[in-house]
Structure formats: C-alpha cells, structure tokens
Amino acid sequence: MKNLCLVVFVFLLISFNLFSSEVDQVFLKNGQVVEGIVQNYEIGKYVEIVTLENRRQIINWDQIESLSLASEDELKTDQVEHNNKPDIKLNIDAKKGFEFDQTLDSDQLRLNWESQGGFIKSYDFAVNYILTKMDFSDSLSGDMKLDGFGFGYNANLNLLKFSPPNYAENKYYSYAAKLGFSVGINANMFETKFEDVIMDSVPGVYSSHTNIEVNNDIRVGTMEFGLNLGVNFGLGKFFNPEKWGGVILGVAWRPTWQWTETNTTTITDIWYASEIYVPYYQYIWDWDYSEDITTESNTQFSWSAVEFTLDVGGVKAMTAKMAKRAHIRLNLMIVPPIGEYNISMLYLGMGVVWYR
C-alpha cells in the first residue's frame, strides 16, 4: 500500500511539473497572474496569450511586471531597452504626392480593447491647408485670375464600450457603443480678378473702347459642433474557439449645429471712351467705380443625420468603424498648372488618432 501511494505521489508530481513547464505566465503590475500559452509578443508593446480558459487576450506591455515563458527564463520588463522599430510607411508618388504614416504605440490599447472588451477613450484631430491658383485667358471672355487658400481643423473625443463574444461562456452575441463629441472650424478666402476689353467700331462712323475690371474678395467661415452616437449589435456563432462571425446591425446618429458666415466685397471699375465722326466729331468718355460689401450669416441645426448599416463579419467588423488604428499621418500634394484654366493646388494635411 505504501508503495502504491508512493507511485501515485511521484506520478502526480511528475505530471504537475510537466503541466507547469508547458504553461506561460504573465505577471501584471496589479498583482494578477495570467496563465496560458503565449502566442506572440513584442518587447515594449504587447503580449498575446491564450488563457487556460481558452480565451485570447492581448495585454499592453505597460501593464506587465514580468513575463515567464516555459521555454525561456523569466523576462523582466524593466530590463528591456525599448528600441523597437516603429511601424512606418512612406509613400512618394509623382501623382499622389508625399505621404508619411506611422502607427502609434497606443494602438495596442485598441487591440487589447478588441480582444477583451471594456471601455476605452479615443482622440483624434486633423488639420489641413489648401492653396489654389487659377490663371485663365481667352480672347472672347477676357482674363480671369483666382487666388485662394483654406484652413480646416476637426477634432473628436469618443468614449467606446465593447462587449465581445466569449466562447468559454457560450456568449454568441456582441455589441459596441460610442458616445462622443466633435468640433470643426474651417476658413476659406478667395480673391478673383476679372478683366476684359471691349472694342467696337464702324469705319468712318464711330469707334468705342470699354475697359472692365471686377475684383471679388470672398471670405467664408464655418464652425460646427456635433454629437457622435452609435451602436453595433452582432449575433453569430463560433467557427472555432478563436473565430466568431455573424450578422452585425449598426445605427449611428450625429446631430450637428453649424454656423456659417460669408463676407463678399465686390469692386467694379469700368472705363469707357468713344469717338463719333458724323455728323460732326465728338469725343465721349465715362468712368464708373462702385464698391459693394455684403455679409450673410446662417445657423442651422440638423437632427436627421441617422445612418443604418447591415454587415456580415467578425469581431473586427464590429469595431472597425468606431475605433481606427492609432497613427500619425502627414500628406503633401502639389498639383502643377493643368487644363485650360491653369489650375494649380498645394495641399498639406496632418491627422492623429490615439487612445487612452
């Protein structure tokens, strides 16, 4: 009997050691320990692990105290030099211009939110500057020039909630919700100049010369405030413990308040001269100068900006429209004079998305 007990004890001990040696452990700074099989990790960014409950989990590196892998020694986070290469894309195209795109570290918070659910805050803003020129000349319609530039700023703050499906808990439904606020400011200024010369004559009778010049200075300012409200609800099934798919119904509502003001200054300068030869010689000239200033303001509130969507997909389809990849992007595009109107344009833009 003693020998049998000894054999059982040794068997259990060996089995425990073998089982323990195959389990990876992630020690969190809050004292918790996550056990399972580490699928992937990147030092300084994240750890992806399938837990003992067969649940896929992505943990931000900032939450980890140390990482113990079954096949390696324990890895301390404070012993790691954060020298990872950032995810950077650089595109230079003669037609599309220059684009710089870099994924930010906070994108791991989004991936972790996609995997585990819960709350997350997203911030984003975009600024842009556009410079436009046009120089058109025609013997029939005269000469026209346009110089304009515009500036825009848009920002969004959103609170996101996600409840993912769970294979271990037999939870086959999922939902994601968004509550946010947005603000936008845009200013555009244009100056146009139109010049034309009209000459008319009947030999021996009369001749006339009219010089027309019209200048317009147009300034448009827009300010917009809005609410960002949305809900996605999905119902489906698990094709395997890690893959869920289903039908996703989405509703988004964005009530907005918008104020627009337009200031226009028009200066008209007309000079006219004519010579009449019969029945006797006469010389007539006239000059007309006028300046007109108009201001228009418009305020409107829209309740009807409602959008319904129906998609078929997985977890990413639930969250893709609500939570974009955290990144910083720079764009520069130069369009040389093209077409009969010789339109040229310079566009410079920057956008940033990040999470907390």
> How would DSSP label each residue in 148-217?
EEEEEEEEEEEEEEEE--BTTTTB-EEEEEEEEEEEEEEEEEEEEEEEEEEEEEETTTEEEEEEEEEEEE
pLDDT at 89: 64
257 pLDDT band, cuts 50/70/90, is very high
4 pLDDT band, cuts 50/70/90, is very low
Tell me: pLDDT of 258 over 90.
yes
Task: Indicate the SS3 state at residue 20.
Answer: helix
- Asked if 200 contacts 183 with a C-beta cutoff of 8 angstroms, the reply is no
Tell me: pLDDT of 82 over 50.
no
9 pLDDT band, cuts 50/70/90, is very low
252-276: average pLDDT: 92
Model's pTM, two decimal places? 0.68
> Residue with structure tokens 């917009």?
224
Of 76-80, 206-210, 352-356, give the lowest mean pLDDT range: 76-80
pLDDT at 88: 66
Please name the fold of domain 1-83: SH3 type barrels. (2.30.30)
pLDDT at 222: 94
**Tokens read off for 334:** 């130069």
Domain ranges within the chain, ordered by starting residue = 1-83, 85-191+220-263+302-355
pLDDT at 163: 93
Tell me: pLDDT of 270 over 60.
yes
Tell me: pLDDT of 1 over 90.
no
Answer with the residue of higher pLDDT: 248 or 2: 248
Tell me: pLDDT of 25 over 90.
no
51 pLDDT band, cuts 50/70/90, is confident
Tell me: pLDDT of 341 over 80.
no
Highest mean pLDDT among 13-17, 22-26, 163-167: 163-167
How high does pLDDT run on average in the chain? 82
Share of the chain above pLDDT 70, in %: 85
pLDDT at 72: 53
41 pLDDT band, cuts 50/70/90, is confident
337-345: average pLDDT: 79
pLDDT at 92: 60
279-287: average pLDDT: 88
Say how far apart CA 274 and CA 278 lie, in whole Å.
13
Answer with the residue of higher pLDDT: 243 or 354: 354
Tell me: pLDDT of 352 over 90.
yes
**Tokens read off for 264:** 């226009």
How many helical (H) and strand (E) elements, i.e. helices and strands, does the chain have?
3, 18
pLDDT at 14: 36
Burial of 276 (0-12, 13-18, 19+ CB in 10 A): middle
Q: For residue 61, what is the DSSP state?
A: G
256 pLDDT band, cuts 50/70/90, is very high
pLDDT at 298: 92
pLDDT tens digits, 116-155: 889 999 999 999 999 988 887 766 667 888 889 999 999 9
Within 13 A of 197's CA, how many CA atoms are on the CB side? 5
15-42: average pLDDT: 70
pLDDT tens digits, 316-329: 888 888 898 999 99
Say how far apart CA 250 and CA 259 lie, in whole Å.
29
Answer with the residue of higher pLDDT: 171 or 23: 171
DSSP run (H or E) holding 50: strand 46-51
